[in-house]
Amino acid sequence: MSRTRLLTVVGVLLMLTSCLLPCLTFWNGITLPDQDPTPEAIQQENAEALAFEQSFENSMWIAAALAILGLAAFIYAWKHRRRPTRVQGTK
């Protein structure tokens, strides 16, 4: 496998991963609130919501970094790809 093809595959995979990471983090943080919460339960839910918000923000930063790396790898591979050469005498 050539280096440009490998970088193209890695770039696309990094960009796909950057799209899926926030979705998976968000999906894992979904919970239903209590129907009749006590004050302690409300405090617990607020603490969990704050922790979820921080983890989601971290996953967004990681996803942005992965997307930038993937895009850079894809652009590098695109600029350095080999084009087929034509042989003289053929159409």
Three-class SS state of 42: helix
* In the predicted structure, residue 44 carries a pLDDT above the cut 60: yes
Distant-in-sequence, close-in-space partners of 84: CB < 8 Å, separation ≥ 6: none
Q: How many CB atoms neighbour CB 64 within 10 A?
A: 13
Q: Which pLDDT belongs to residue 42?
A: 87
Q: Which pLDDT belongs to residue 91?
A: 57
Residue with the two structure tokens 């696309």: 12
Q: Which H or E run includes 75?
A: helix 39-79
Mean pLDDT, rounded, for 69-83:
87
The model's pTM is: 0.71
C-alpha 12/C-alpha 77 separation (Å) is 11
Ranked by mean pLDDT, which of 19-23, 57-61, 79-83, 86-90 comes out on top? Answer: 57-61
Phi-psi region of 89 (alpha: psi -120 to 50; beta: other; left: phi over 0): left
Residue with the two structure tokens 């087929």: 84
Q: Which pLDDT belongs to residue 57?
A: 92
